[in-house]
Structure 1
Amino acid sequence: MSSTLPTSPRPVVLVVAPNDRLYRGYCLESVAAVYDTVVITPNPVTWEQGLVIDHETTDPYDHDALLAAGERLAARHPIAAVMTWNETLLVPTAELAQHLGVLTDDPKVLHACRDKATSRKLFAQHGVPSAQSIKVASLLESALAAESIGYPVVLKPAGQAGSVGVIRVDLADQLPAAFEFTTAGANLHGGESNSILVEEYLDGPEISVECVTHQGRTTAVAVTRKEIGFEPYFEETGHSVDAVDPLLAEVGPIARAAVAALGVTTGISHVELRLTDTGPRIIEVNQRIGGDLIGRLVQLATGIDLPRAAADLALGIAPDLTPNLQQAAAVRLLYPEVSGTVIARGIDAQVADADWLAQVSWISAVGDQVVLPPEGDVDVARVGLVVVTAADAAQAAARIEEAQDHITVIVHPASKHLGIAAEAQAAS
């Protein structure tokens, strides 16, 4: 923490918990390129050091500690905006912004986005196509809800993110193990609530719409097409963005309606939908930049800088959403075939030097343990990721497959054991 700090004419933006460099480094880099940036982090700054002018280290999940850290930074800098791209800290960050007297949506709006039961209720009230959903408190209530909705159903925590605790249940005899799996996910740290929902299963391709809202007016700027794996779980294994995706015209109005139903007036929204036989239907609205480098894909494909836009919005400035690129980009998250110990990894030189290969990053080193879903989450299941650019969606799909074909990942299998979640998967 600095004691003597240089003055600057640039506005000062406070970022709460910028997270890891791999997935969110591009966000902080974008904001810091335009604004003086200070951060509140749970650990001493490392990779953030060259991007920030000051910082405070504290537990951002401790309400009083977060406010006190913000006050200390505000005593040293004229804080003009407060923001985060951390899903589980959306509500505390809005409360901090209120405390420091800078622009923010009401924390209740962020809570409505975070709590899926509240979201579903608001979607229904405003006629936004979504999924039938019933909040439950026991296995018996889950069974009654599933019978009412009709199998297959989805069990999910109402207040978690990143598909934590989410599972499809096809048959009644799978429900007890699935309920235990979802309950465990609902009780993990960082959840907005520990409630459980039983929902109608929306069959069809999954997408997201990346939206920007300024003064209550929402612009849908891009569609992200998704790859989902590890059924009956909902692990995201890849994403692609095409600047001229014709689907945007169809799903953009539905995404905007969902954002409006939740009362959002400012910020970036990552709106997830499924393309069903009855039309596009909302899964959820995440009031922040999408994870898994989705914001980076949007910039590579369209030229629109979502992290910069998020900072502009936090300052009350209308962001520049003019696309200056018209191409495609894709990311593939690299999972091994089995859980175990990584003994080799690499990429062939002929692909590593390709001008269309935008990024290759390794998450697991040789000797690391990787654990696939359901026992492991994204933090321990992925070995790496690869990002490509292309002229259009078809070429991006071909290039992502070509890149994967030239990547080697060898894992020595772990000894097999079946937990409750694994039993649920085997039963399906």
Structure 2
Amino acid sequence: MHFSPSALPVLVIVGGTDETYRGYCWESAAAEHDLVVVDAAPPAGLVGDLVVDHEIADPRDADAVVAAGLALAARHEIGGVLTWDEYALVPAATLTERLGLRGNSVEAVLACRDKGTTRRLLDEAGVPSARSVRVQSAHEAAQAAAAIGYPVVLKPASHAASIGVIKAAHPEALRAAWEFANAGAGEQGPEGYGVLVEEYLDGPEVSVECMTLAGESVALAVTRKEVAFAPFFEEVGHTVERDDPLLPLVAPVARQALAALGVTDGISHVEMRVTKNGPRIIEVNARIGGDWIGRLVCRATGLDLPGIAASVAADMTPDLMPTHHGAAAVRLLYPKASGTLTERRLDALRASNSGEGRLREWGWLRDAGDRVALPPNGSLDEARIGYLITSGPTLTDAVTARDAAEAALVLQVEPEPAQ
């Protein structure tokens, strides 16, 4: 097979071909790079249109990814390796090391993927975090919770998207919490094992979106998170504003965490809670945040996170100068109860009429007739119905526009019969 040479640097993208959540990442990366992909199936749709070559391999299997990457390297001069898929981080780092390219070491990515290792390294470096104990049985979980003190959080050691994460407010809630978290741990990545019982951190939850190049980290934006459906931690909304007043407070802690874990390159998504005693780390993800956070950052600041990530992977100096001064918000649409979605529609004209703020993007994730299931019976993919993205000159404008868009929604769910 022969391919014509291109003036654009070639990047290998490992996995991450979900167009719903990651389509904008592909579009940004393709603006300055030729893209080749390693994934479990041939690329199709938007992604397929942006890809110049591919190899089929399980993106979570490091050996398979390396073999596929070497095959692509035989046909192209590869300038970098990149993924925005949490579960493909270790295989992508393994391929990066094999090709001798810029990127995080396998050791650093493993430290991020296994939250138990994250806690240990943060503690050793003096970075404020949460007390945490790895357990492998309900009995061990009860002992750890008693030692830490209620409330506690149980979570799989190496999962993502809040899968298996639950709060236990008192000893009577621990058994059910253990069963939920342990079920999630049965499906987690191989980089970690068991369930973590952790100190519950109270206070606003945020993430700091960072860029690291050659070990030097810069905090680019703060994402404020809105969480619902306690005792679970489903994220139902995010907001980003340029020059968030929290940035000077949380940025140093985010940089300290990245350094402690050995993160040297790329975009990272550093989650923390701002407690009464200051910011404390929840976890560190060595990739772009999910749920359209990158889109919000771009609309609020003009900074293109996937484009920056692609530049770093290709050993190019990214442009970190903000070009916009505003704010953006997203509402992730959930049903009020589990059941069958019978109707979903949006009066787009009414939704877009909200003063200085505007409805910028929206879409559906579920169709009428689909079952929608909230936790503990359903996952994120089974619960979300759609999303609304708004922006405006100020955070108040963006949130007001989001409220107006929500008011223009019609969501009807026929509840499931009581058990």
Q: Please, what TM-score do these two structures have when normalized by structure 1?
A: 0.94
Is residue 398 of structure 2 the alignment partner of residue 400 of structure 1? no
Q: What is residue 205 of structure 2 aligned with on the other side?
A: 206
Counterpart-to-counterpart distance in 1, 2:205 and 2:163: 17
Give 3-state SS (helix, strand or coil) of 2:74's partner: helix
Deviation at 1:44, TM superposition (A): 2.1
Is residue 392 of structure 2 the alignment partner of residue 390 of structure 1? yes
Counterpart-to-counterpart distance in 2, 1:156 and 1:289: 21
Counterpart-to-counterpart distance in 1, 2:275 and 2:112: 22
Is residue 18 of structure 2 the alignment partner of residue 7 of structure 1? no
Correspondence list, 1:52-63, <5 A: 52-63=51-62
Counterparts in 2 of 1:338 and 1:191: CA distance versus 1, 3 Å: farther
Deviation at 1:75, TM superposition (A): 1.3
Deviation at 1:306, TM superposition (A): 0.6
One-letter code aligned to 1:58? A
Deviation at 1:19, TM superposition (A): 2.6
Deviation at 1:353, TM superposition (A): 4.8
Is residue 372 of structure 2 the alignment partner of residue 370 of structure 1? yes
Counterpart-to-counterpart distance in 1, 2:283 and 2:344: 35
Counterpart-to-counterpart distance in 2, 1:73 and 1:308: 22
Moved more, 133-142 or 122-131: 133-142
What are structure 2's unaligned runs of at least 5 residues?
none
Fraction of identical pairs, as percent: 51
Q: What is residue 179 of structure 2 aligned with on the other side?
A: 180
Q: What is residue 381 of structure 1 aligned with on the other side?
A: 383
Asked if the contact 2:358–2:398 (Cα under 8 Å) also holds between the matched residues in 1, the reply is no
Q: What is residue 157 of structure 1 aligned with on the other side?
A: 156
Counterpart-to-counterpart distance in 2, 1:204 and 1:62: 38
Correspondence list, 1:2-41, <5 A: 3-41=1-39
Q: CA RMSD in A?
A: 1.3
Q: What is residue 301 of structure 1 aligned with on the other side?
A: 300
Is residue 65 of structure 2 the alignment partner of residue 66 of structure 1? yes
Q: What is residue 416 of structure 2 aligned with on the other side?
A: 414
Deviation string 1:61-105 (CA, Å, 9 cap, x unpaired) is 233322221122111111110110001111111001112222222
Deviation at 1:360, TM superposition (A): 0.8
Give 3-state SS (helix, strand or coil) of 1:194's partner: coil
Counterpart-to-counterpart distance in 2, 1:168 and 1:205: 16
Q: What is residue 196 of structure 1 aligned with on the other side?
A: 195
Moved more, 214-223 or 137-146: 137-146
Correspondence list, 1:212-223, <5 A: 212-223=211-222
Deviation at 1:166, TM superposition (A): 0.8
Deviation at 1:124, TM superposition (A): 0.8
One-letter code aligned to 1:234? F
Asked if the contact 2:390–2:399 (Cα under 8 Å) also holds between the matched residues in 1, the reply is no
Give 3-state SS (helix, strand or coil) of 1:93's partner: helix
Counterpart-to-counterpart distance in 1, 2:139 and 2:362: 47
Q: What is residue 258 of structure 2 aligned with on the other side?
A: 259
Counterpart-to-counterpart distance in 1, 2:351 and 2:395: 21
Counterpart-to-counterpart distance in 2, 1:177 and 1:352: 41
Asked if the contact 2:17–2:43 (Cα under 8 Å) also holds between the matched residues in 1, the reply is no
Is residue 251 of structure 2 the alignment partner of residue 249 of structure 1? no
Moved more, 393-402 or 76-85: 393-402
One-letter code aligned to 1:142? A
Counterparts in 2 of 1:145 and 1:353: CA distance versus 1, 3 Å: closer
Q: What is residue 310 of structure 2 aligned with on the other side?
A: 311
Deviation at 1:416, TM superposition (A): 3.6
Counterpart-to-counterpart distance in 1, 2:141 and 2:111: 23
Counterparts in 2 of 1:118 and 1:189: CA distance versus 1, 3 Å: closer
Aligned length: 415
Deviation at 1:189, TM superposition (A): 4.7
Counterpart-to-counterpart distance in 1, 2:26 and 2:272: 27
One-letter code aligned to 2:385? V
Q: Please, what TM-score do these two structures have when normalized by structure 2?
A: 0.96
Is residue 42 of structure 2 the alignment partner of residue 44 of structure 1? yes
Give 3-state SS (helix, strand or coil) of 1:253's partner: helix
Moved more, 133-142 or 256-265: 133-142
What are structure 1's unaligned runs of at least 5 residues?
418-428
Counterparts in 2 of 1:189 and 1:150: CA distance versus 1, 3 Å: closer
Counterpart-to-counterpart distance in 1, 2:402 and 2:352: 14
Counterpart-to-counterpart distance in 1, 2:62 and 2:115: 22
Counterpart-to-counterpart distance in 2, 1:400 and 1:349: 12
